[in-house]
Structure 1
């Protein structure tokens, strides 16, 4: 069923509000406050060696280049960057953004995802995406996109797990780091969001996340919400 547009108005643009979650919060990226933590999380000795493989920048061998990149990101309105703060450690452990912001059509994307190793395969990474997705639809958007290199199997698995629908592949879409990129497209639309959101909330609930690990998978929680 398509969404009724009788009362729809153009979406609002992201602002600098902090988005509060159970395990993390999302703060507007601030290099002065978040830079040291992010350098450690994204470039430190325990960082993910594959983190930068499919991103159009990085890795950064020098702190000065990393700081310049953070400063540019923090000043940008599209993409609009957030730092991911672990609520227990009170450390910035990753970043991501709302991007490709088209308010007049109600279209927005989550992208530039760079999560440090402490976030990966944990509720923190899933909650970061959930909080941004919730914000995207709260702003009035009708469509939330996820795009990735078609060779990036990890990102494609993640999109499906998070509840996005595969839409197709744009062949020879970009050149990234001197290489061809075929781009895979996924989306969640506003009529799908209530069930997807309910699945996120069931999965993120503390009674589903004991210290030993999840009880029900995100896919199972989403199926219960349909």
Structure 2
């Protein structure tokens, strides 16, 4: 059911410093505290070699360049960056952001999803997205977006698995690292979130009980 927007006044910008989950917590990016783990996890010998393929930056072979990048983005309000901290070990294993933030229209995006190998294909990656989505809709945002390179099959699969609806492809949307980028657009809107959020909760609860991410899909959890 649609809601009247006659009294719409917009929503607040994100300001949260900490979001707690079962498997991870999201801490506002702090290069001094998070930089060592992030550099090791994203560039070290056990890093995912394909991690940087579709990102508009990186990899950073020199630590000084990586630190400069972190310091610059830690000061930004858009994108608004978080580090992903594994609750069991205390290790920082990736970063993620809220971005393209338009409070006046109630529109926001989850982006810069950069998870180390130890986070991939685990409940930790799912929970990181869930915590940001939940926070965005609690602030009153009406639309949550996910955009990625149309050639990035891993990101497209993740968007669909996490409940985002495919909306189309913006052709020749950008030039990234000297190559054309067609951008695939996905979204979740506020009226869809109660069912999708319940699916996240059920999936994460089952993952917590089984101790792994090998549980039914989010869509099955919503059924």
TM-score of the superposition, structure 2-length normalised? 0.96
* 8 Å Cα contact 2:22-2:208 kept in structure 1: no
Compared with structure 1, are the counterparts of its residues 213 and 174 closer, same or farther at alpha carbon in structure 2 (3 Å cutoff)?
Answer: closer
Whole-angstrom distance in 1 between the partners of 2:40 and 2:83: 13
Q: Is the 8 A contact 1:145 1:188 kept in 2?
A: yes
Q: Is the 8 A contact 1:12 1:139 kept in 2?
A: yes
Task: Describe the superposition over 1:34-82 as per-residue Cα deviations: whole angstroms up to 9, x where unpaired.
Answer: 0001011111110110000000000110101111111111011100000
Q: TM-score, normalised by structure 1?
A: 0.95
Structure 1 residues 75-96: Cα deviation after superposition (integer angstroms, max 9, x where no partner) = 1110000000000010110000
1:167-223 CA distance string (max 9 Å, x none): 00000000000110000000000000000000000000056641354332222112x
Distance 2:151 2:168 in 1: 13
User: Is 1:53 matched up with 2:47?
Assistant: no
Corresponding position of 1:200: 200
Q: Distance in 2 between matches of 1:163 and 1:50?
A: 24
Contact 2:207-2:213 within 8 A present in 1 as well: no
In the alignment, is the contact (CA less than 8 A) between 1:78 and 1:100 conserved in 2? yes
Report the 3-state secondary structure (helix = DSSP H, G, I; strand = E; otherwise coil) of the residue aligned with 1:54: coil
User: What is the number of residues matched between the two proteins?
Assistant: 223
CA deviations on 1:125-154 (whole Å, 9 max, x unpaired) are 000000000111111100000000011111
Distance in 1, matches of 2:54 and 2:93, equals 19
Matched, 1:117 2:117: yes
1:1-226 matches, within 5 Å, as: 1-206=1-206, 209-211=209-211, 213-222=213-222, 224=223
What do you get for the CA RMSD once the two structures are aligned?
A: 1.3
The answer to whether the 8 A contact 1:209-1:215 is kept is: no
User: How far off its partner does 1:6 sit?
Assistant: 4.2
Q: Hey, what's the Cα distance between the residues in 2 that align with 1:207 and 1:55?
A: 29
Any idea what SS the aligned residue of 1:198 has? helix
- Partner Cα distance (1:18, 1:174) in 2: 33
Task: Extract structure 1 runs of 4+ deviating beyond 4 A.
Answer: 206-209
